[in-house]
Chain A
């Protein structure tokens, strides 16, 4: 297991390095810069701005500065008679740099403020998705072919087909304007959670329901289930002890990317409900050419996807004795 983790870590370093490098140069290759504005700047002022953010440096040097671990700012190197600012800097030291657009914050500040919010919302959404999805999927598989099954499958198909903003709009109309139970948007108390969490979790719930149903159906017809039933175990015990374990394997493999997606937030849901999470920064930073923030959220996403997939692989071995880590 240790060796597995070690190998994963090595690949993680390589992946992250590639992601950082490729997205850094891609970002710079896009037309338009962070300081382009409706009001064009006087060339001297533009030069001042570029100097302050080191955009006047050659791109390779900006890249080295960004990655670190040394601060290339000529005033920064104390050893060579600079001022007392840091000798070290860049991603390797955990510093994602200043945001170009939200100038009162570093990228670390922005992620630090917004990620917990996205995680809070995402966790609740994921809890909803799992509860609804697994229940519906299992019930559907057990009552296969009945009206109940049909109803749940219909619901799941609609859930997958409808974009979450449509679901959100319906939720707002019903719960905020008609019933006046919940606020339309905002963040600040648990009352603000249910609507966005439900809208965010619903498509995942639908997908999980379908995966669970398929998985369960396959398992329920397996030999060892017949054996379990033959030895006289009550049906609920067969289900709990033997069937679910195998039946939800497809769901587990789906959970890695799904959790990363749901935790980093959803642009659309966050915008509609005015939630100050990370999701809106994914698109906003690219549109603003906020180089550092765009890189920061890209790195964040890479780390989350990679980390969660590793967790999923570990979970696999707990659920399925046929899988060994060495082969995964």
Chain B
């Protein structure tokens, strides 16, 4: 042991140490810079034709196991379902299915698949592909979160949920109402007429996956196939774009697919999907021309951005509301809930907190759904100039309701209640405005409880709150995506509320084939809901995206779903024409991109004709 330091001394005195002292730091420094340069340059890519920022990193590219909005944006580029949606109206259009028939009773759907639609590996897309994909989607071992979107199919729910000890389905798959009649005919039998089922066939969980791709991966990589088949070099897709490169928290590079059936409609050769979470970084990248479309903007800058032509919030199919724990006194009394709901200055919230055109809202199904009449809780406050006087009347009603419920000057004292929300400035500001109203007008003491996201969810699920902030965005364009949430015992109810009449209406609507009668049931259900108020509606959402004015084929729609297939760059000429028809007070901004535009191969000379989804439509306008 004693020899060790001695040897070090020998090293030092022999001059080696001095040499090490000089060489090591210098080589480390040189190495660091070389490494830095190497790593940054080896991954260098040519800039993409079109770049958009997608928020968080996508969870997966497997359509069967995702549920999020960012995932949807990528999946719509690389896969295609039986139907696709019109980018403006969201009406179903032919996708992998060229035509389809629905039986008289609304239960049997027959899809005729397109001949010549191909996967990126050259295989034809067949009815068997859908059979395989949907079996996989429903199979419990896939653990698909959205599996219930296919439970409308006969026998599907039993297949997913009735399992043996090993966790395998008790029933064989042929008990499920999905059949491939031949290579190009797919028959689907539903349990109940589900008018929105055709919309669901264009929803990403129902997109097909390639059987050969998955099975080859299983063979080659028995342990890791679940990751391998999704790697850019392995994944097989059937949409307008294919994945060529991917890096976690960085980007997904997409390239136009040569095997896509409608490739002549696709304009951009390459698209970059960036995973950037910081709102301010999003905006910086956009303002420097490094991104053409961003989905989030910093709240503090909304007023400034609203002047620009590239920021136009449009109605979005979502509602912001408070859940009320109806199992706790005093909120177990509907009169108390009504008083709380009436005494909220929704106008102040949308004007001073959210600031981008959100609608003060008094019911659950959001603003803007064509053909549906919202059934709000009765109130006097009307959006516009008479808001204040209306609100005063509502406040008087609220006071009277509280007295009726036994609280007030001569009654019991109202206990302190707590508003619960997940940590965020906007939610805090909304809660403060609400609390201020309750305190000032009703004399109710309010505390706040903000929790980190996952803890917040746990608090909601276990009903350990008084009043809790919530939001819901519709999956498809139908009141059912909102209203079936509050059936007794539903997993997303989370209020402890249940009502037999409400449940009955939702059930009747499921079985109804007549669209008008079906909506009548929904109206009645929503009336029950806004009468009982297990939730306190606050506002109806708007979209929050900024888009390069040069981009065409990008109309707004209620679901804020965009379809990469239709995107193109407008020429200076077309851009000027579009600008001529927009309000003159809009501030013109840079529109980076080629002056001649970038049009798809099959673009007609001049403007796109009426009926072409790419024809630039004016986005939905707010009232």
Interface residues, chain A, CB within 8 Å of chain B? 1-4, 30-33, 35-45, 48-49, 51-52, 83-86, 98, 101-106, 109-110, 113-114, 116-117, 119-121, 123-124, 126-127, 130-131, 172, 176-177, 183-190, 192-193, 197, 245, 271-274, 276-277, 280-281, 287-289, 317-319, 321, 324-326
Instruction: Fill in one digit per residue for B274-318: 1 if any A CB lies within 8 Å of its CB, else 0.
Output: 111110110011011010000000000000000000000000000
Judge whether B144 and A274 touch: CB under 8 Å: no
Using known A-B contacts A32-B454, A49-B145, A123-B33, determine if residue A40 contacts B491 with beta carbons closer than 8 Å. Answer: yes
A271 touches B455 (CB 8 A): no
**For the complex, what is the distance from the CA of A137 to the CA of B414, rounded to whole Å?**
65
Most buried by B among A4, A30, A48, A273: A48
B25-49: CB near A (< 8 Å → 1, else 0) gives: 0000101110111111101110000
> Which segment of B90-98, B244-252, B352-360, B390-398 sits at the interface?
B244-252
B230 within 8 A of A: yes
Q: Given the interface contacts A32-B454, A176-B284, A287-B453, does A48 sit within 8 Å of B35 by beta carbon? A: no
Q: Residues of A contacting B227 with CB < 8 Å?
A: 98, 104-106, 109
Give the 7 A-B CB pairs with smallest separation, nearest first: A32-B454, A123-B32, A276-B250, A44-B161, A40-B491, A120-B39, A184-B284
Structural contact, A32 and B458, CB atoms closer than 8 A: yes
CB pair B143–A45 under 8 Å, yes or no, is yes
Q: Are B494 and A85 in contact (CB under 8 A)?
A: no
Q: Which of B444-486 contact A (CB under 8 A)?
A: 452-455, 457-458, 461, 471
Near A by CB (< 8 A), chain B positions 38-89 give: 38-41, 43-45, 57, 59-62, 65, 67
Contact at B461–A36, with CB atoms within 8 Å?
yes
Q: Is the CB of B4 within 8 A of A32?
A: no
Measured CB to CB, the nearest residue on chain A to B491 is A40
Distance to closest chain A CB from B24 (angstroms): 9
Name the A residues within 8 Å of B223 (CB-CB).
85-86
Residues of A within 8 A of B595 (CB): none
- Report how far A289 CA is from B41 CA in the complex, Å: 34
Which residue of A123, A176, A287, A289 contacts B35 across the interface (Cβ within 8 Å)? Answer: A123
Say yes or no for B5: interface residue by CB 8 A criterion. Answer: yes
Q: A30-B454, A172-B284 are in contact. List 15 more A-B contacts (CB 8 A).
A: A32-B458, A37-B67, A37-B457, A42-B147, A48-B142, A85-B222, A101-B59, A104-B231, A123-B32, A184-B285, A184-B287, A271-B277, A287-B452, A318-B21, A326-B5
Distance in angstroms between the alpha carbons of A86 and B225 in the assembled complex: 13
A188 contacts which of B44, B226, B248, B288 (Cβ < 8 Å)?
A: B44
Whether B29 contacts A325 by the Cβ 8 Å rule is no
Interface centre among B62, B231, B250 (most CB of A within 10 A): B250
Is B132's beta carbon under 8 Å from chain A? no
B226-237 interface bits toward A, Cβ cutoff 8 Å, 1 = contact, 0 = none: 110011000000
Please measure, in the bound complex, the distance between the C-alpha atom of A310 and the C-alpha atom of B276, giving whole angstroms. Answer: 36
In the complex, A40 Cα to B31 Cα: how many Å?
50
CB-CB under 8 A from B284, the residues of chain A are 172, 176, 184-185
Residues on A with beta carbons closer than 8 Å to the beta carbon of B140: 44, 48, 51
Decide yes or no whether B141 CB sits under 8 A from chain A.
yes
A51: contacting residue among B8, B143, B454, B458, CB under 8 A: B143
Q: Does B121 contact A (CB under 8 A)?
A: no
* CA gap between A172 and B290 in the complex, in Å: 15
Docked-complex contact B248 and A113, CB < 8 angstroms:
yes
> In the docked arrangement, what's the CA distance between A161 and B491, Å?
49
Query: Are A321 and B9 within 8 A (Cβ)?
Result: yes
How close is A207's CB to chain B, nearest CB, in angstroms? 18
Residues of A within 8 A of B276 (CB): 185, 274
Whether the pair B59, A103 counts as a contact (CB closer than 8 A) is yes
Residue of B nearest to A84 (CB): B222
| B68 CB to nearest chain A CB (Å) | 9
**Given A39-B492, A41-B491, A189-B44, residue A280 in contact with residue B147 (CB < 8 A):** no
Chain A residues, CB < 8 A from B36: 120-121, 123-124, 190, 193, 197
B621 CB–A CB distance under 8 Å? no
Bound Cα distance from A52 to B65, whole angstroms = 12
Question: Which residues of chain B have C-beta atoms less than 8 A from A326's C-beta?
Answer: 1, 4-5
Q: Which of A30, A39, A101, A120 is B67 in contact with, Cβ under 8 Å?
A: A39
- Number of residue pairs spanning A and B whose beta carbons lie under 8 angstroms apart: 211
Please name 19 pairs of A and B residues whose Cβ atoms are closer than 8 Å in the assembled complex, sorted by A: A30-B455, A38-B471, A41-B491, A45-B160, A48-B140, A48-B144, A102-B57, A104-B61, A106-B224, A123-B33, A183-B290, A186-B290, A188-B44, A190-B36, A271-B281, A272-B278, A276-B275, A281-B249, A317-B8
* Complex partner residue of A104 from B12, B32, B62, B287, CB under 8 angstroms: B62
Contact partners of B285 in chain A: CB under 8 A: 184-186, 274
Query: How far, in angstroms, from A84 to B248 measured CA to CA in the complex?
Result: 30
CB distance B148 to A42 under 8 Å?
yes
Query: Which residues of B lie under 8 Å from residue A51 when comparing CB positions?
Result: 140, 143, 167
The verdict on A271 contacting B278 (CB below 8 Å), with A31-B458, A52-B143 known, is yes
Q: Is B622 an interface residue (CB 8 A)?
A: no
Q: Which residues of A contact B1 (CB under 8 A)?
A: 3, 326
In whole angstroms, how far apart are the Cα atoms of A307 and B381 in the complex? 66
Chain A residue at smallest Cβ distance from B3: A1
| Residues of B with C-beta under 8 A to A321 | 9, 12
Q: Which residues of B contact A188 (CB under 8 A)?
A: 40, 43-45
Min CB gap B305→A, angstroms: 16
| Residue of B32, B280, B491 touching A43 (CB-CB under 8 A) | B491
Contacts A116-B39, A121-B36, A186-B290 given; indicate if A3 touches B4 (C-beta within 8 A).
yes
Asked if B20 CB lies within 8 Å of chain A CBs, one says: yes
B17 interfacial contact with A, CB 8 Å: yes
Query: For residues 499 through 514 of chain B, which have their beta carbon under 8 Å from a beta carbon of chain A?
Result: none
Task: Name the A residues within 8 Å of B9 (CB-CB).
Answer: 321
> In the complex, what's the smallest C-beta–C-beta distance from A238 to chain B, in angstroms?
16
In the complex with contacts A105-B227, A271-B281, A45-B35 CB distance below 8 A = no
Q: Would A114 and B248 count as touching, CB distance under 8 A?
A: yes
Smallest beta-carbon distance B130→chain A, Å: 21
Q: Is the CB of A318 within 8 A of B4?
A: no
Q: Per a CB cutoff under 8 Å, which of B8, B33, B280, B461 touches A124?
A: B33
Query: Inside 8 A of A35's CB, which chain B residues have their CB?
Result: 145
Taking the closest CB of chain B, its distance from the CB of A102, in whole angstroms, is 6
Tell me if A103 and B29 are in contact (CB < 8 A): no
- B17 and A102 form a contact (CB under 8 A): no
Which of chain B's residues have a CB closer than 8 A to the CB of A120?
Answer: 35-36, 38-40
What A residues does B60 contact at CB under 8 A? 102-104
Q: Which residues from chain B contact A101 at a C-beta distance below 8 Å? A: 59
CB within 8 Å of A: which B125-151 residues: 140-145, 147-148
